[in-house]
Structure 1
Amino acid sequence: MDKIEYLRHIGLNRTLYRKRQETIEHVSADTKEKHSMRWIRYRGLKKTTLQAMLTFIVLNLKKLTH
C-alpha cells in the first residue's frame, strides 16, 4: 500500500490524479451536497431512477453552461 501511495505522488501519476480530483471527485461531491443525492427522496426503483436521471441531466446542463 505504501508503494501505491508513493507512485501516486510522482511524475505523470501526480498530474493525472490531480486532474481526477478536479473532475470526478468534484462532480460526486456536488451531486451529493447540492442536488440532494445523499439520500433518496422517493420509494421504488422507477421513481428513484427518475430522480437520479433528472439530477444527472441538470449536472450535464450545468457543465455545458460553464
Structure 2
Amino acid sequence: MLSPGSDQRDAAPAAAAGDSPSPVGPDGLTSEERERIRTWALEEGIEVKARGRLSKDLIGNYRSVHNRR
C-alpha cells in the first residue's frame, strides 16, 4: 500500500538476478573466495576437500601469499 502523495515510480527498482553480492559464510568468505582458495591450494599441492569448511590456517596462508586481509 502506498502512502498518500507517494508515487510508485519513486520506489527503488528491484535488483536484477546476479546483481546482489555473494553471501558471506560463517568463515567470512564468499563462495567465490572459497573457490579461489581451493584452486590455489590444489595448484600448490595442498590437499583440500572439494566441499566443506576451509581451515583457518589455509585461509591465513592464502591471504599471506596474496597480501589480503
Fold conserved between structures, TM > 0.5 = no
TM-score between both structures, scaled by the size of structure 2: 0.36
